[in-house]
Each structure stands twice: as structure tokens, then as C-alpha cells.
Copies of this chain bind each other. A is one copy, B any other.
């Protein structure tokens, strides 16, 4: 193989890694517009078919349960009242076809009786992702409120 052909192969691997990194960031950013508009199918599609969203008070397993969460009175009430689920940029570690991203999120709600908004929660998030048939999906997202509970701090430490 010529020098040029060898360099091209090496370049192709580097480009694939860059594509993977951006695809993971895109997967995470796709959650935002979907969750705050109640677009339940788009929310579910962040996960694999049997993906798990494990929050402090419940575990949602698979698309049907995630869609039901989006349709719940609690979530629909947030949207009707005015809400933003805001994600900071995640810190991503890729290992072949799997990746872990760690970030914090805020849930911010409109104050019903005054100007302004309240930050209801700041949460630690761990996204475990896998590339399946060329597409990155979340297999498990674990979220724990940062209110001093050790498991939330441990979740961040594990991703640092």
C-alpha cells in the first residue's frame, strides 16, 4: 500500500471518531426540544427500544414507559405552566461502540404568581450510549438530584 493510501485509512478512522463525538452530542441535544414540547415519540427515540431512564423517584423502561412519562399530568403541567429542562454540554468518554456522557441538568419553572422562574432541580446525569447499526442511542440514563445525596455526587465522580 502506498503512503497516501495508508494516510487515507488513518484519516478515515479519525473522521469516524469525530463523527461519533458529534453524533453523541446531537443525541443529547435532541432531548431538549422534545421534552419541553411534549414530543413524546422524539423523546423516546433518544433511547434504544428497551432503553432505561432511571430517575430518583421512578425507573422508566422502554419507549412505552418513557412516552407515558411525557404524557403524564406532572410533565404536561410543567409544559402548560412554562418550563425548561436545560442541559449543559456533556463530558463524553468514548470506548469503541459505547460511550458515557456526564452532565448536569436544570429544571426551571415559571413562577405562577410572580415574574421570573424558579430553578426547581439541579440534577447529575449519566448517559450510557451504544452505537447500533451506525446510530448512537441511549441505553440507560441515570439522573440523581444534586441536593447533597451521595449517589448524585458519586455519579459525577464516576464520569470525571
Tell me which residues from 1 to 41 in chain A have a Cβ below 8 Å from any Cβ of chain B. 2, 4-5, 7-8, 11-12, 14-15, 18-19, 21-22, 25-26, 28-30, 32-34, 36-39
| Residues in B whose Cβ lies below 8 Å from that of A103 | 29, 32-33
| Integer count of this chain's copies in the complex | 3
| Residues in B whose Cβ lies below 8 Å from that of A87 | 88-89
A26 vs B87: C-alpha distance when bound (angstroms): 16
B122 close to A84 (CB less than 8 A): yes
Q: Hey, which bits of chain A sit against chain B, CB under 8 A?
A: 2, 4-5, 7-8, 11-12, 14-15, 18-19, 21-22, 25-26, 28-30, 32-34, 36-39, 42, 79-84, 86-92, 102-104, 106, 108, 110, 115-122, 124, 145-149, 152-154, 156-157, 159-160
